[in-house]
Structure 1
């Protein structure tokens, strides 16, 4: 994988950290994503839409960042070669979470 184009655009992924597990859908516009707990029966109804930025790190690896309306900040390192995702999340109360999990394309 040598292309610098973000490979998630237009696709849906499962971010499985054990607990929690999320479904993340990257819209074809290359600017927005939708996410919801994986167990949500109706993804469209449960999904939150975010504007993200994907930064190329090296072939197959991108850092994806966004800030949510409630002040939560999220940074993912998405490794498409090794099917892993690393997340760093700051909550509104300033609690800091780090998670590592599997990153599986669903479509």
Structure 2
């Protein structure tokens, strides 16, 4: 793997912002991810699938963005070196959220 290869492809991560906590599964296709609350009883049934784009920032740091079906936009800065994630989310009602949490590979 090169420094610019996205390390999450094919893996599952826990984005723990305290409240909320999410499971984010990056599919092996390198184009789609699935996410749901971490405590979801049936991840496969409850997960939303999104098309994402990962942009290399520097070794072990990527900006990951996607737009959800309801119009929500999500931008993550995923720092694999320091195991942190920063999120900026714009909701359909234009409410803007910023979150910072831990970023842990779970599989």
TM-score normalised by the chain length of structure 1: 0.98
Does 2:5 align with 1:5?
A: yes
| Structure 1 runs (4+) greater than 4 angstroms displaced | none
Does 2:44 align with 1:47?
A: no
Q: How many positions carry a matched residue from both structures?
A: 107
Deviation per CA, 1:9-37, whole angstroms, max 9, x where unpaired?
A: 00000000000000000000000000000
Q: How well do the aligned residues superpose, as a CA RMSD in angstroms?
A: 1.1
Secondary structure of 2:45's aligned partner: helix
Deviation per CA, 1:48-94, whole angstroms, max 9, x where unpaired?
A: 00000000000000000000010000000000000000000000000
Once the two structures are superposed, the pairs formed by residues 91-106 of structure 1 within 5 Å of their partners are 91-106=91-106
TM-score normalised by the chain length of structure 2: 0.98
The runs of 5 or more residues in structure 1 that have no matched partner are: none
Aligned counterparts of 2:38 and 2:25: Cα–Cα separation in 1: 11
User: How much does 1:38 deviate?
Assistant: 0.4
Aligned counterparts of 1:101 and 1:2: Cα–Cα separation in 2: 26
Aligned counterparts of 2:2 and 2:83: Cα–Cα separation in 1: 16
Question: 8 Å contact 1:21–1:38 — kept in the other structure?
Answer: yes
The residue aligned with 2:59 is 59
